[in-house]
Chains A and B, each alone.
Chain A
Amino acid sequence: MKLLTLIDDLLAKIETVILILLLSLMVIVGFAQVLLRNLFETGLPWADPMLRYTVLWLAFLGASLATRENRHINIDVLTRYLSPKLKKLISIITNIFALSVCLILLKSSIDFIKMEIEFPREIFLGIQNWILEMIIPIGFSLISLRFTVNIVKIIFIKNII
């Protein structure tokens, strides 16, 4: 349990640092692109694909952190009418459900990456497609880990739903 939260916290720190780096890069490159186009009528050919793949990375890292802090978008119409005990039980069930979905997606994304490695192509600055796409299996591993941590916490800690 302690080890699990330790790993969880450490990963969250790393994710946050990467998020900060990626978003800063995005702001700088995006703005440089505007300046170049409007003032010098040129542009960086690699900027657009870089920005597009950064969105993909931000999406998965952000989603992983959102799982950790229970901040995913959901519909909350029925849970508020339940007793605390029932709430806990339902919460365990829905978390297990979400975990299983993510594990299936993790498996499919690994299969997908395997296919992509066989047909590599350059996206920008010599970086190949499958490297950029690796964030999908990485993302689903992180999200699956978070759902697992959630389930463990709900079962073992008293006042958590």
Chain B
Amino acid sequence: MLNFLLILLFILFALFRTPLFAVISAIAILAFVSTQTDLSAIIIEMLRLANTSTLIAIPLFTFAGYILAESNTPKRLVNLTNALFGWMPGGLAIVVLVSCAIFTAFTGASGITIVALGGLVFPALIKGNYSEKFSLGLVTTSGSLGLLFPPSLPLILYAFVAQVDIDKLFIAGIVPGILLIFLLSLYSTLKNYKVVQRQKFSFQNLWRATIDAIWEIPLPFLIIGGIYAGLFTVIEASAITAVYVLIVEFFIYRDLKLKKDLPRIIKESMMLVGGILIILASALGLTSYLIDAQIPMKIFELIQTYITNKYTFLLLLNIFLLIVGMLMDIFSAIIVVVPIITPIALKFGVDPIHLGIIFLTNLEIGYLTPPVGLNLFISSFRFEKPIIKIYLATLPFILILFIALLLITYIPEISLFLVKR
């Protein structure tokens, strides 16, 4: 009883901005003390950070992502996608969706996209005659789009926590990710093709934008193609990406200066890495306790008395994950919830790779779910608009994403057919 009250107190602390790693550690310490386990067991679990190679990819990709975010890549990316898709009806909206998705895949969906790209594309949308409401909704939605694409940080983290093959997960996210963009593009086109002026397709523009971004264009193909073709592993891809991006941005484009920018970028990116990994470290202790106490099995038995059907379970899972995604940031959500859910979902016969994609799609939508989804606040702050306005603007986009979520949840082949090949 006392333990229960203490846990409630810890969770209350969490809601008042206590660093999550401290809250999770506190619960773990409590659990270990109450079962009279020596506390150094928590430290032994923390050491698992150094036991698997998967995590090597996290600092390397994050570092590369921060370099890209700090350089002029966002501008070149928008120019290029604009030259490619700008001529289509509702083209500028598609430009926003595609460029934000690519950018998020590289920077890991921590709100950077809205800050870095939002300021670039939002004025362009307004100028292109898109309504303010639509533009706000579009940019807010795009802020977390793309985290299903490699090499996004949430994918790597999920692979580590759920212990699934990261190479497979990287491939599995591609089609569902494209589906999300496709449905949102379709909606944007249907809604806007009458209102907005279309720009003409210009081969000259395309040529110029391509030449401008010629060093960055190979990057996604290098990563996805290299892994898909089995040329190298995800960890090797992370080392290649870091070196490639470093050379391109510092020595070829010279957008950044070694002395002035590099130390700052390293520090900034490693603070994010440290923030994520310390939560992971503290959660490893708690998770080992939960597994030892067979908590997932007990939850499974409890659920099973009400639900025996895989499809009802998946629906319930979606609702649960949307709430989690709304309350927590994506990294802590993966770290805390995945170890509990995975064994239960396996019992219901859900494929672990498919489960990962369902998970991440939900958390992606959770970013936008009122009242407390993170992107809503970032957007409200960035564009200086009242939060209620952002809620209303985002609503139609959330509905589209729900349709995509249902498709992804109930048609496993969308995620799995490339993997099984």
User: B-contacting residues of A (Cβ < 8 Å)?
Assistant: 16, 19-20, 23, 26-27, 30-31, 33-34, 37-38, 48, 51-56, 58-67, 69, 71-79, 90-91, 93-94, 97-98, 101-102, 104-105, 107-109, 111-112, 115, 132-133, 136
| CB-based nearest B residue for A80 | B377
Interface: B17 (CB within 8 A): yes
Q: Are A53 and B236 in contact (CB under 8 A)?
A: no
**A133–B238 alpha-carbon span in the complex (Å):** 25
B281: Cβ under 8 A from any A Cβ: yes
A148 to chain B, nearest CB (A): 14
The prevalent SS among residues of B at the interface is helix
A59 touches B278 (CB 8 A): yes
Q: How far is the CA of A38 from the CA of B56 in the complex (A)?
A: 19
- Tell me whether A19 and B22 are in contact (CB under 8 A): no
Q: For the complex, what is the distance from the CA of A79 to the CA of B267, rounded to whole Å?
A: 28
A76 and B271 contact, Cβ closer than 8 Å, known pairs A56-B47, A102-B22, A111-B39: no
Q: Report chain A residues within 8 Å CB of B267.
A: 16, 19-20, 65
Query: Is A30 within 8 A of B60, CB to CB?
Result: yes
Asked whether A23 lies within 8 Å of B59 as measured between CB atoms, the reply is: yes
Q: A97 CA to B6 CA in the complex, in Å? A: 12
Q: Are B19 and A112 in contact (CB under 8 A)?
A: no
The 3 closest A-B pairs by CB, nearest first: A62-B274, A30-B239, A59-B277
Q: Contact at B19–A72, with CB atoms within 8 Å?
A: yes
B63 contacts across to A, CB distance below 8 A? 23, 27
**Given A26-B60, A74-B14, A107-B39, 15 additional A-B pairs, CB 8 A:** A16-B267, A20-B263, A30-B56, A31-B240, A55-B59, A62-B275, A62-B277, A75-B17, A77-B15, A98-B22, A104-B29, A105-B43, A111-B39, A112-B44, A136-B46
**Are A115 and B40 touching (Cβ within 8 A)?**
yes
Bound complex: CA A30 to CA B215 (Å): 22
Are B43 and A136 in touch, CB under 8 angstroms?
yes
Q: Known interface pairs A30-B238, A33-B236, A97-B26. Does A55 touch B270 (Cβ–Cβ under 8 Å)? A: no
The B220-279 residues at the A interface (CB cut-off 8 A) are 231-232, 235-236, 238-240, 242-243, 246, 262-263, 266-267, 270-279
Nearest B residue (CB) for A108: B39
Which residues of A are found within 8 Å of B417, using beta-carbon distances? none
When the two chains form their complex, are residues B278 and A98 in contact, meaning their CB atoms are under 8 A apart?
A: no
Q: B43 touching A38 by the CB < 8 A rule? A: no
Work out how many contacts link A and B, with CB atoms closer than 8 A: 189
From residue B264, how far is it (CB to closest CB) to chain A in Å?
A: 9
Q: How far is the CA of A103 from the CA of B39 in the complex (A)?
A: 12
Q: Please determine whether A94 and B263 come into contact, CB atoms closer than 8 angstroms.
A: no
In the assembled complex, the Cα of A72 lies from the Cα of B15 at a distance in Å of: 14
Instruction: Say if the beta carbon of B342 comes within 8 Å of chain A.
Output: no
CB of B50 within 8 A of chain A? Answer: yes
Is B308 an interface residue when CB atoms closer than 8 A count as contact?
Answer: no
Determine if B321 is an interface residue (Cβ-Cβ < 8 Å): no
- Chain B 188-228 residues near chain A, CB threshold 8 A: none
How long is the Cα–Cα vector from A49 to B331 in the complex, in angstroms? 25
Tell me if A79 and B275 are in contact (CB < 8 A).
no
B18 touches A69 (CB 8 A): no
Q: Are A55 and B243 in contact (CB under 8 A)?
A: no
Once bound together, how far apart are the Cα atoms of A112 and B43, in whole Å? 7
Supposing A69-B271, A98-B22 touch, asked if A27 and B42 sit within 8 A by C-beta, the answer is no
Q: Say whether A55 contacts B274, CB under 8 Å.
A: no
Q: Are A38's CB and B15's CB within 8 A? A: no
Please indicate the chain B residues that have their CB under 8 angstroms from the CB of A38 in the complex.
231-232
On chain A, the residues within 8 Å of B22 by CB distance are: 97-98, 101-102
| Also in contact, A101 and B26, with CB within 8 A (given A52-B52, A94-B16) | yes
CB-CB < 8 A to A26: which residues of B? Answer: 56, 59-60
Cβ-defined partner of A63 (8 Å) among B51, B58, B263, B274: B274
Contacts of A91 in B (CB 8 A): 17
A91 CA / B46 CA spacing, docked (Å): 27
Out of B42, B46, B271, B331, which one reaches A71, CB within 8 Å? B271
Residue in chain A with minimal CB distance to B64? A27
Chain B residues with CB under 8 A of A37: 236
Given that A77-B372, A115-B40 are contacting pairs, would A63 and B278 also be in contact in the complex, using a CB cutoff of 8 Å? yes
Of all chain B residues, the one with the shortest Cβ separation from A37 is B236
The answer to whether A53 touches B50 (Cβ under 8 A) is yes
Q: Inside 8 A of A74's CB, which chain B residues have their CB?
A: 14, 17-20
Residue of B nearest to A21 (CB): B266
Task: Output the nearest chain B residue to A98 by Cβ-Cβ distance.
Answer: B22
Contact between chains at A66 and B271 (CB < 8 Å): yes
Q: Do the beta carbons of A31 and B271 come within 8 Å of each other?
A: no
A112 to B45, CA, bound (A): 11
Q: Check B56 against A105 for contact (C-beta < 8 Å).
A: no
Which chain A residue shows the least CB distance to B335?
A73
Pairwise interchain contact B277-A55, C-beta atoms closer than 8 A:
yes
B21 within 8 A of A: yes
What are 26 inter-chain pairs, A to B, with CB distance below 8 A? A16-B266, A16-B267, A27-B60, A30-B60, A30-B242, A52-B50, A55-B56, A65-B271, A72-B275, A72-B278, A73-B19, A73-B276, A73-B331, A75-B15, A75-B17, A75-B20, A75-B329, A76-B17, A77-B327, A78-B16, A97-B18, A97-B22, A101-B29, A105-B25, A105-B43, A136-B47
Taking a contact as CB atoms under 8 Å apart, the answer to whether A34 and B236 are in contact is: yes
